[in-house]
């Protein structure tokens, strides 16, 4: 049965969707605008919207005061590194849960997810002490490992969902064809799950990129990524909104651009398995 959608309803929903979209987008837009203001305009009351003297001086200041390329490089290494390491561990884990489940598989999956509900600060001290003892504080290796551990449950869950969509008979056929477990995962499962794996990688890079708690607390200088870079602008000498905004824009720009170009893949990935 075709649903009767009146023009009036259509207009209403469209307006509502736009309003909601703009509301979500507003903070980013405001940050973007502020980053081009002088510090004085940035805190003026009532706020100035579009008609001010646009300036790039904040971006220049930010560049001069700190090492953006280094923070960017750290962010890339930590986000990509932790995601790839996570995938490496999660593929076999998700394979076994999807294709040779035991009575406890569901419990294990839920338990893994429950670790995400643990307040991160609860393990802060043990982790810091451990890192110090190992001598890896403020190192990229530490952050790669920590962020991988934090996102691993999500990676496993996502891959598990994708793998479940793959008919077991195809894997059995490969076993009959003489494939070893390694061959089966490498030549049959992985290529078939590639769209799902790609979405998982994208999403987890975003999650790792945005992760602030651990990245700020476990780094000082050497391994400091963009999150730390932003935080350094809300410094003791007071808040400089314009500079903070410029730093924020610089930090989120790469991931925003990546997200924009991979929208389709992300949406597909997140709804994969929802529709059969």
Residues that bind other proteins (CB under 8 A): 167, 169-170, 172-180, 183, 187-188, 191-192, 194
**HSE-up of 137 (CA within 13 Å, CB side)?**
15
Q: How far is the CB of 87 from other proteins (least distance, A)?
A: 18
Closer residue to other proteins in complex, CB, 174/219: 174
Q: How far is the CB of 102 from other proteins (least distance, A)?
A: 12
Answer yes or no: are the C-beta atoms of 217 and 137 closer than 8 Å. no
Q: How far is the CB of 165 from other proteins (least distance, A)?
A: 12
Q: Whose CA is closest to 131, among 61, 214, 72?
A: 214
Tokens encoding 38? 């002088």
Q: What are the backbone angles phi and psi of residue 212, rounded to the nearest 5°?
A: -110, -35
Give the Cα separation of 231 and 218 in Å (integer).
13
Closer residue to other proteins in complex, CB, 57/183: 183
Q: How far is the CB of 181 from other proteins (least distance, A)?
A: 9
Give the Cα separation of 263 and 199 in Å (integer).
10
Answer yes or no: are the C-beta atoms of 197 and 129 closer than 8 Å. no
Contacting residues for 129 by C-beta, under 8 A, at least 6 apart = none
Closer residue to other proteins in complex, CB, 187/213: 187
Closer residue to other proteins in complex, CB, 126/191: 191
Q: How far is the CB of 186 from other proteins (least distance, A)?
A: 11
∠ CA 89-95-97, nearest 5°, is 105
Q: How far is the CB of 170 from other proteins (least distance, A)?
A: 5
Closer residue to other proteins in complex, CB, 18/187: 187
Answer yes or no: are the C-beta atoms of 108 and 157 closer than 8 Å. no
Closer residue to other proteins in complex, CB, 119/178: 178
């Amino acid at each position: 049965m075709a649903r009767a959608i009146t023009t009036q309803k259509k207009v209403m929903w469209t307006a509502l969707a736009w309003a909601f979209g703009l509301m979500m987008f507003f903070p980013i837009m405001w940050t973007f605008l502020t980053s081009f203001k002088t510090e004085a305009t940035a805190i003026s009351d009532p706020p100035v919207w579009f008609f001010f003297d646009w300036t790039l001086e904040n971006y220049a200041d930010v560049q001069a005061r700190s090492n953006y390329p280094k923070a960017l490089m750290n962010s890339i290494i930590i986000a990509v590194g932790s995601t790839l390491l996570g995938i490496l561990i999660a593929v076999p884990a998700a394979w076994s849960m999807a294709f040779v489940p035991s009575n406890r598989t569901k419990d294990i999956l839920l338990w893994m997810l429950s670790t995400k509900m643990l307040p991160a600060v609860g393990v802060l001290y043990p982790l810091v002490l451990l890192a110090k003892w190992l001598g890896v504080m403020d190192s990229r290796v530490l952050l790669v490992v920590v962020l991988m551990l934090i996102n691993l449950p999500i990676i496993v869950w996502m891959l598990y969902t994708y793998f479940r969509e793959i008919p077991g008979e195809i894997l059995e056929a490969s076993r009959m064809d003489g494939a070893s477990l390694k061959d089966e995962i490498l030549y049959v499962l992985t290529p078939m799950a590639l769209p799902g794996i790609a979405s998982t990688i994208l999403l987890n890079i975003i999650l790792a990129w945005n992760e602030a708690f651990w990245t700020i607390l476990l780094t000082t200088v050497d391994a400091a990524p963009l999150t730390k870079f932003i935080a350094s602008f809300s410094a003791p000498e007071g808040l400089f909104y314009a500079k903070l905004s410029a730093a924020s824009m610089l930090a989120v720009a790469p991931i925003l651009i990546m997200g924009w170009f991979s929208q389709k893949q992300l949406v597909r990935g997140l709804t994969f398995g929802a529709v059969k």
